[in-house]
Amino acid sequence: MEKLAIEGGLPVRKTKLYYGHQWIDEEDIQAVTDVMRGEYLTCGPYVAKAEQALEKYTGAGHAVAVSNGTAALHCACLAAGVGPGDEVITTPITFAASANCILYCGARPVFADIDRETYNIDPDSIAKHVTPRTKAVIAVDFTGQAAKIREIRKICDKYNLILIEDAAHSIGTKYEGRMVGTLADMTCFSFHPVKTITAGEGGAILTDDDTLYRKLLLARSHGITHDEALMVDAPHEGSWYYEEISLGYNYRMTDIQAALLESQLQKIDSFIARRKEITKQYNEAFSDCREIILQKEIQESNTCRHLYIIRLDLEQLDCTRRQFFDAMSAENVQCQIHYIPVYWFPYYRQLGYEKGLCPNAEEIYHGIMSIPIYPKMTSQDVEDVIHAVKKVIENKRR
Ligand SMILES: *Cc1c(COP(=O)(O)O)cnc(C)c1O
């Protein structure tokens, strides 16, 4: 048996491998420098071009590019009319932003539990949490696998709820043959550097609904309109004239970000292909490990993975998740945990949320670990990760 690096042995690799990393090439750099030499740095032609590219890629009617994924979620909640006194149902196994956007609107996040096998929000638990105050559902496509949109849609239709899809992980995924971006009332993307494509920071909301689209534009830019048809007071004051007709924010994307986004979108097929390839290699490598439980793949979702999660069966291992994680770090494979249940955070506790709300989420949290997956990984990198996981298992097997 190989001696673990954490116990004084040689590490599997000499350099650190992280769980995610961007892919930036000369075309991306060229696209950004073109903007810098041009007329506009923000709100110029590149934002419109990136939005059209997103519409073309997903098949959605409208795309609204914003400064980041969190802003996208906030705009979606505002367009859905979420406000004080409302409740919005979401999952606890997500990044904090999926729930924070509800708090920004003065509404209350309600946490539905997750499915024990896919780790996505469980439609039955959503149905149990609907009240007369419920306004919307924010379903997260965790790791890139689409949530059970068909079942969730049914609940939303029955109770007249807006369906927002947090697709920060799932650009490029198809559900029942349809692209993510066309499934929910509004779909939110993030273009943070660890996500499938990046704009440095960036986000977008996709929708087919013209009314929601108008509200999203207002939310993005101060609630200000130049459209006479929307004006309340004086449509014919003069060409300088504009009106603020609702309270909006400055969530605009710059042309610098948009140029990078558009350049990245041209390469997305190769990014997706590589992520799928790595997923397949991991699935095959770990399928015979009884110490690891793999995330269940539902056949409705043709998934591009943003994250690859292994769940440790701690009854089969003579170590804690912490010890496993630290042993992987010592082998120079830096894992991450996605995610700590959102309502466990001190800020949420202070709002009155208590441990025990979502038993599945809490149980699964204790065993999960994200291992590296990103297109720039070489086949040696992938082999190193598999090697490190198997090395730790071999040493810690009961
Ligand atoms: C990354 C992420 C966000 C937030 O996106 P930013 O662009 O970082 O603001 C929201 N939800 C989920 C699930 C994410 O992973």
Q: Which of 90, 141, 142, 166 to mutate to test the pocket of ligand 1 (most atoms within 8 A of CB)?
A: 166
- Cα 70 to middle of ligand 1, angstroms: 6
Ligand 1, from 190, 260, 336: best to mutate by most atoms within 8 Å of Cβ? Answer: 190
Write out pLDDT tens, residues 233-282: 977 788 899 999 999 999 999 999 999 999 999 999 999 999 999 999 99
Greatest Cα-to-Cα distance within the chain, rounded to the nearest angstrom: 81
Burial annotation 27-60 (CB, 10 A radius, 16+ → b, else e): ebeebbeebeeeeeeeebebbebbbebbbebbeb
Dihedral class, residue 80 (left if φ above 0, else alpha if ψ from -120 to 50, else beta): alpha
Residue 341 has a pLDDT of 98
- Average pLDDT per block of 10 residues along the chain, 398 residues long: 97 97 97 95 94 98 98 98 98 98 98 98 98 98 98 98 98 98 98 97 98 98 94 85 96 98 98 98 96 98 98 97 98 98 98 98 98 98 98 97
**Which helix (H) or strand (E) element contains residue 292?**
strand 292-294
40: which 2 tokens? Answer: 């506009």
Q: Which residue has a Cα nearest atom 5 of ligand 1?
A: 69
Asked whether 169 lines ligand 1 (CB < 6 A), one says yes
- Does ligand 1 have an atom closer than 6 angstroms to the CB of 395? no
Atom number in ligand 1 closest to CA 70: 9
Q: Which atom of ligand 1 is nearest to the CA of 191?
A: 7
Residue 92: the pLDDT is 98
Question: Nearest to residue 92, comparing CAs of 368, 377, 393, 379?
Answer: 368
**Ligand 1 centre from 85 Cα, in Å?**
25
pTM of full prediction above 0.85 = yes
Establish whether residue 140 lines the binding site of ligand 1, counting it when its CB lies within 6 angstroms of any ligand atom: yes
Cα-to-centroid distance, 240 and ligand 1 (Å)? 37
Q: Which two tokens stand for residue 386?
A: 């598999």
- Residue-by-residue DSSP string for 353-389: --TTS-HHHHHHHTTEEEEP--TT--HHHHHHHHHHH
> 168 in ligand 1 pocket by Cβ < 6 Å?
yes
pLDDT tens by residue, 147-179? 999 999 999 999 999 999 999 999 999 999 999
Atom of ligand 1 nearest to the CA of 98: 11
Ligand 1 midpoint to CA 140 (Å): 10
What pLDDT does 236 receive?
A: 75
User: What is the pLDDT, as a whole number, of residue 43?
Assistant: 87
